[in-house]
Copies of this chain bind each other. A is one copy, B any other.
Amino acid sequence: MAHATIRDVAREADVSVASVSRVLNGHSNVRPAVRERVQAVAAALGYVPHAGARNLSLARTNAIGVMLPDLHGEFFSETARGIDSEASARGLQLLLSNAHANPARAIETLRTMRGRVDGVIIMAPDLDPEQLFEHLPPSLPAVLINCCGNVQGRAELRVDNVAGAEAMVEHLVSTGRRRIVHLAGPDGNSEAQARVAGYCAAMARHGLAPRILPGDFFEEAGTAAAEELLRELDGPEAPDALFAANDMMAIGAMMRFRRAGVAVPGRIAIAGFDDVPLARLISPALTTMRVGIAGIGARAVVRLTALIAGGHDHAVEPRTPELIVRETTWSTINTEQPASRE
């Protein structure tokens, strides 16, 4: 049995479709008797309005599109969570699509969102903005998050990754570190590039030689970097700090150092970037730059809502990351020797 339509209800209740529509949308100009009859019939038929049709005729969907690079890892799930909490507080549904770093698919996705959402939130640090924005319908409200090359003057939220990376280097230097190695994010990623830039600038300011290891934001890259550094830890040029471009890589490195029995931060300090929830739970807790991931997502929804309501917003809203120093060291953790059981 197919779905009942508004026409079925109208016929059964012996009224016009207009009246059914009025009842269902809570308009007041309907005689109580008619209202009740319509409601009864609708319930009996198991009628559920076809939201798609409704959207078409209202030219309004109450949904927003969200394009994220990937849903893997805590960074993006935190963003999604921030967006979701604000969206659901406003009764908006979310049409999610991850771009998987594939420009063609990203564009295709944007196109299939047209007419299904009232606006979009786009986070695409790894996509060529030229291509992307060319296919962004100008009349589609959009809020960008960390999109390099926002040429159309779109509303945007942009984390100051350069300043963040500089701040972290300053912190490491202030605690006595000198041989600070940076583990970078993926090549084509504008955020990763900015963090490298900040790192280099701050190192130069202190007359320190930069050293950059390639990475990709994944845990395994941290593991690999740690393995490389492990070989040098007893040498004359031993690094005394590893500053990873994101938390997951920092954690990968930390796990590897731990497995090798290297004291962190005793022998080598480790710092991350993002402050994902995990950073606080790992031990030793991770010193990192907090970007307020979920808050950015929520803020994007707020601005998008205003845009959809007809507002104008061409601002690039800067977000400055905050240094989070976590001082947990082994000594405060392991106050008691393990009882070996079995």
Contact A337 B263 (CB under 8 A): yes
What 0/1 readout, one digit per residue, does chain A (33-55) give for beta carbons within 8 Å of chain B?
00000000000001011111111
Pick the contact of A340: B48, B262, B278, B329 (CB < 8 A).
B329
A-B contact pairs, 11 of them (CB 8 A): A49-B111, A54-B115, A71-B80, A94-B97, A95-B95, A95-B96, A251-B281, A266-B340, A266-B341, A278-B278, A331-B340
Interface size in chain A (residues, C-beta < 8 A) = 71
A24 → chain B closest CB, angstroms = 11
Note all chain B residues with C-beta closer than 8 A to A55.
52, 116
Task: Tell me how far the C-beta of A124 lies from the nearest C-beta in chain B, rounded to whole angstroms.
Answer: 15
The smallest C-beta distance from A283 to any residue of chain B, in angstroms, reads: 5
Copies of chain A in the complex: 2
Q: A265 interface residue, CB < 8 Å from B? A: yes
Say yes or no for A282: interface residue by CB 8 A criterion. Answer: yes
Chain B nearest CB from A294 CB (Å) reads 10
For A48, list chain B residues within 8 Å (CB): 111, 114, 135, 137
Which of B77, B261, B278 sits near A336, CB closer than 8 Å?
B261
> Are A339 and B266 neighbours in the complex by a CB distance under 8 Å?
yes
A171 on the B face (CB < 8 A): no
Q: Does any Cβ of B come within 8 Å of A205's Cβ?
A: no
Q: What's the Cα separation between A112 and B333 when bound, in Å?
A: 50
